[in-house]
Structure 1
Amino acid sequence: MGQQTLIKNAKVVNEGQIRELDVLIDGERIARIDTSISVPEAVVIDASGAFLMPGVIDDQVHFREPGLTHKANIATESRAAVAGGVTTFMEQPNTNPQTTTIEKLEEKFSIAAGSSYANYSFMFGGTNDNLEELKRLDNKSTAAVKLFLGSSTGNMLVDNEQVIETIFSNTDMVICTHCEDEATIRKNLEHYTGIYGDDIPIQYHPVIRSEEACFVSSSKAIALAKKTGARLHIFHLSTGKETHQFVNDIPLEEKKITAEVCVHHLWFSDEDYKEKGTLIKWNPAVKTAGDREELWKALLDDRIDVIATDHAPHTLEEKQQVYTKAPSGGPLVQHVLPAMLEKFHQGRIGLEKIVEKMCHNPAKLFQVKERGFVREGYYADLVLVDLNDGWQVTKENILYKCGWSPFEGTTFKSKVTHTFVNGHLAYKNGVVSEERNAKRLTFNRD
């Protein structure tokens, strides 16, 4: 018997239902779920009026460690994550050095074992020349393979079509792709630098990294996945046109080709560049309000399976440079759940659907073991939210190492009050516990 915590009278959002239940945590796991539980020795949290959901699983973050730690590190960003109800993350390979060998992958796991506040896994980066290393990967010990089929940091651009096909044919792991066509982007960029030099007005970002650049790349990846039978997951869709390539007539577990959308593509549109400038410069770019509407449709009718962040912090100084020098990406992991709950208040999405796209589906898609649901015997990764406790995002309450957020100044109606990571109360009412109880993810794979 471990430490016992009894959450009483919570409205539990889980597996398509909302029910008032008690949840007993014993040590690291959920021991019992019932309408009325009494355990005299347990620490009791009265959650009357609050909503309890599984911890968010964010399948796409860049925490910048090793090598880029002036922007962020695993400790700072995982701390921000648990404050936002994100209990599990999957981190991307474009660090320095890049995660393109098993040795470098394991080095990241050891950093996280000593410093992460949230559960963790890392993706292995495919390149034009590391196929043999990729074949040696143990599919039970790492989240997925990541391919940049478009512009990216460093030399991680995989642009040899023969290599891409060979990778697709030689792994049964989920292949996650960033899809933007490099040739299209380069041509567009040359056109606008010809007119403006380096100081291209930010509103041309979605014209340079255009709908065409996204569609050309994602449609190629989908055709190749169909040809090879690969298990493909396309990251951060940003255009309406791309959404029509995905299906919703079979269960997620049977889909070979899946997709995600990020919170910024559901929240911002190109109308926001005027106010936010390069702070909302992302790759792929935030596009039109029409694209945003199409992304919402595809999310709600289940052509899009997952909501993630692509959390990618840079310093404010870096972001405020001229267009060609300002890096793409922004910090989001602390604010993704409050932002999606804001969309619930606006009537765009139900609580059950938020939990499906942010908790259940990432667990199913990556076959994460014993997480992503409120179930007896599962790890107690849980989040309590108060839907009626408004707060404003300010410099003072931002926990990212970079110290800024594209949501700065936004008032959210909902607040994360408690976050449990493996049964440990990792965050409570504005305070992150300095005791860490995070674990490396394991996967239900043959």
Structure 2
Amino acid sequence: MEKAALFHLLLYKNYLCSMSTILIKSATVVNEHKQFIADVLVKNGIIELIDQHINVQADQEINAEGLYLFPGCIDDQVHFREPGLTHKANIYTESRAAVAGGITSFMEMPNTVPNTLTQQLLEDKYQIAAQTSLANYSFFMGASNDNLDEVLKTDIKNVCGIKVFMGSSTGNMLVDNPNTLENIFAHSPMLVATHCEDEATIKNNLEHYKQLYGEDIPVTMHPIIRSEEACYLSSSMAVELAKKHGTRLHILHISTEKETHLFDNTIALKDKKITAEACVHHLWFTDKDYETKGNLIKWNPAVKTEHDRDGILKAVLDGRIDVIATDHAPHTLEEKSQSYLKAPSGGPLVQHALPAMLELHHQSKISLEQIAEKMAHNVATCFQIEKRGFIREGYWADLVLVDLKSPWKVSTENILYKCKWSPFEGTTFQSKIAYTIVSGRIAWNNGNLIEGNTGRRLSFNR
């Protein structure tokens, strides 16, 4: 069968499979700063009715008594490694892990191979996802020092944003030309998401520690090499550029307490021009964990001090940081087992992000309502996602049912990432994902993936 015909057949199959009803009974709904018990009726992929008692015959009925119903998480930063790096992961395998973890939609980054620096390469990724992704999807257009014309062609209605690496990255994606940065910030037709670390500072720090340790730099030096100064210099520069040009800026994976003071919590989110993201690993681990986890928690930006971790959580809670994401970036264990200088940065997180945040809830560090806000509502608002991120009548049924009293231990046997490891391996979480519903179809049911359907392309109200 020709590729185009297969693509349309899959779309039609997905459409037919969504033409059904699901009735969720007696769930404790966590939505828009409230908790309440309700029934939810899903029809043809859409939330049709939310009421105290719904008495209809549905194709599928879920008894959700004692379970908590969240809007599906929207992860605004993942690296699913396709095309070009599929020995680590691909859109199919990682989207499976995402829905198992309660993430119903993702936005994927452009540092694949080849880098996503043209509109055709961007569209190629959408074609792959349309055929293989279990979750809903969008892909960032990549910026480089020399592709501004391509960047400006990006469709603001159908693409989540422009990604700018203001720090070292894969291939041709480091944007360090001041004129290029000025032009991107001045002319971008849509949200600009930035990775902020100052390359010159990192290089100077690295040379210093090479002089001290040679090629055997300990991983404990990682947060000192990729330092607070490197992060703050770059983040503050991005904020200055955005203020100068009126750019819609979103700074990814804030890793220092100092950076949190660059952001404002006195403006309603819908009116903010500058927003920020925290990642689960920066809310969980600290530099003390390098002794036991080593390269498994080597990320860029680095996991830093307890003071930084606690300061980031405080900024999440008080509204200076707007969303929580994963920066899911898998590598093989063989790659991670190399020496510090050779081991790549990044780790897998999508399957365990929501359980980890629910664990922080059990530790009285964050409320359930705030988890829904930071992992669903605010992501939809920041990116202006059409009819997702909330449990509302008329919205797409992206839903997650959670059992808060069902402990389970992360092990090799239950890890779904293609790389088959997790920095959370050996951790016992108190909460389990019971059901995940993606665009109105059940994708995860009490430990079982329901395959055969694909997610939908996200669209944006811009």
- TM-score of the aligned structures, taking structure 2 as reference length: 0.96
User: What is the rounded CA distance, in whole Å, between the counterparts of 2:453 and 2:357 in structure 1?
Assistant: 27
Specify which of 160, 171, 183 is matched with residue 143 of structure 1: 160
By how many angstroms is 1:137 displaced? 1.1
| Post-superposition CA distance 1:127-151 (Å, at most 9, x none) | 1000111111111110000000001
What is the aligned partner in structure 1 of residue 327 from structure 2?
310
Asked whether the 8 Å contact 1:52–1:384 carries over to 2, the reply is: yes
User: What is the rounded CA distance, in whole Å, between the counterparts of 2:39 and 2:215 in structure 1?
Assistant: 58
- Which amino acid in structure 2 is aligned with residue 191 of structure 1? H
User: What is the rounded CA distance, in whole Å, between the counterparts of 1:91 and 1:12 in structure 2?
Assistant: 29
Residues 236-315 of structure 1 aligned to structure 2 (within 5 Å):
236-315=253-332
What is the aligned partner in structure 2 of residue 25 from structure 1?
42
Residues 22-421 of structure 1 aligned to structure 2 (within 5 Å):
22-421=39-438
| Root mean square deviation of aligned Cα | 0.8
Specify which of 14, 28, 35 is matched with residue 11 of structure 1: 28
User: What is the rounded CA distance, in whole Å, between the counterparts of 2:452 and 2:436 in structure 1?
Assistant: 13
| Post-superposition CA distance 1:241-290 (Å, at most 9, x none) | 00001000011010000000000000000010000001000000000000
Q: Secondary structure at the match of 1:127?
A: coil
Q: Secondary structure at the match of 1:242?
A: helix
Structure 2 alignment gaps of length 5 or more: 1-17
User: What is the rounded CA distance, in whole Å, between the counterparts of 2:243 and 2:215 in structure 1?
Assistant: 40
- Which amino acid in structure 2 is aligned with residue 180 of structure 1? E
User: What is the rounded CA distance, in whole Å, between the counterparts of 1:251 and 1:293 in structure 2?
Assistant: 24
What is the aligned partner in structure 1 of residue 5 from structure 2?
none
User: What is the rounded CA distance, in whole Å, between the counterparts of 1:28 and 1:335 in structure 2?
Assistant: 26
User: What is the rounded CA distance, in whole Å, between the counterparts of 1:156 and 1:334 in structure 2?
Assistant: 27
- TM-score of the aligned structures, taking structure 1 as reference length: 0.99
Asked whether the 8 Å contact 1:239–1:294 carries over to 2, the reply is: yes
Aligned residues: 445
Asked whether the 8 Å contact 1:16–1:356 carries over to 2, the reply is: yes
Asked whether the 8 Å contact 1:426–1:435 carries over to 2, the reply is: no
| Post-superposition CA distance 1:409-428 (Å, at most 9, x none) | 00000000000011110000
Q: Secondary structure at the match of 1:317?
A: helix
Asked whether the 8 Å contact 2:95–2:134 carries over to 1, the reply is: yes
- Which amino acid in structure 2 is aligned with residue 183 of structure 1? A
- Which amino acid in structure 2 is aligned with residue 394 of structure 1? S
User: What is the rounded CA distance, in whole Å, between the counterparts of 1:364 and 1:180 in structure 2?
Assistant: 26
User: What is the rounded CA distance, in whole Å, between the counterparts of 1:197 and 1:4 in structure 2?
Assistant: 63
Deviates more, 1:433-442 or 1:318-327: 433-442
Asked whether the 8 Å contact 1:172–1:231 carries over to 2, the reply is: no
User: What is the rounded CA distance, in whole Å, between the counterparts of 2:427 and 2:275 in structure 1?
Assistant: 31
Asked whether the 8 Å contact 1:75–1:115 carries over to 2, the reply is: yes
User: What is the rounded CA distance, in whole Å, between the counterparts of 2:391 and 2:454 in structure 1?
Assistant: 19
By how many angstroms is 1:171 displaced? 1.4
- Which amino acid in structure 2 is aligned with residue 318 of structure 1? E
- Which amino acid in structure 1 is aligned with residue 247 of structure 2? A
TM superposition outliers: structure 1 runs of 4+ over 4 Å: none
Q: Secondary structure at the match of 2:123?
A: helix
